[in-house]
Amino acid sequence: MSRPYCHSSKEVFDYLYHALRDLRKEKFKVLFLDAKNQILKEETVFEGTVDSSAVYPREIMKKALRWDASSLIFVHNHPSGDPEPSVSDREITKELVFAANVMQLKVLDHIIIGNNCYFSLADEGMIEDYDIIFQDFSKRDHERKKNQ
């Protein structure tokens, strides 16, 4: 049996909507993908109120290495039905993108599922922005070390 592929935020929404709709608590899932965007593993890593102290980038990166993943997609629901990302959602996404970059993994998206709708941080350009911030920081850090 072949594993499902993830080529767009809409495909991910369609894949996980029924599992995450109508929940009273937030559930944070990770899709671990191979180089062809085929799902290697889907795992719930947290249930409760998602904030930067509840989701541990280190643990997610360890799982990514265990599954030999090339890329990651994060998905969680908002029980309120409004998929707009909170400040905390944006912060944890940035931390996860930075951690993935260190491990030479790619974050493809963070999708927030609401009431029959979703918000894709990749579609809005935020994942790319976080990648650029990380690359700029890494470049400056490399230059600083070179000049010491």
Residue 50: what pLDDT?
65
How far, in Å, CA of 64 to CA of 101, rounded? Answer: 12
At the top level of CATH, which class does the domain 9-143 belong to? Answer: alpha beta
Give the DSSP per-residue string, the chain: -PPPB--SHHHHHHHHHHHHTT-SSEEEEEEEE-TTSBEEEEEEEEEES--TTTS-HHHHHHHHHHTT-SEEEEEEE-TTS--PPPHHHHHHHHHHHHHHHHTT-EEEEEEEE-SS-EEETTTTTHHHHHHHHHHHHHHHHHHHHHT-
- Sketch the domain layout of the chain as residue ranges: 9-143
Residue 1 has pLDDT above 90, yes or no: no
Q: What does the pLDDT look like over 94-108, one tens digit per residue?
A: 999 999 999 999 999
Average model confidence (pLDDT) for the chain? 92
pLDDT at position 120 is 99
| 38-97 pLDDT tens trace | 999 999 999 887 655 578 999 999 999 999 999 999 999 999 999 999 999 999 999 999
Lowest mean pLDDT: which of 2-6, 69-73, 122-126? 2-6
Predicted structure pTM score: 0.91
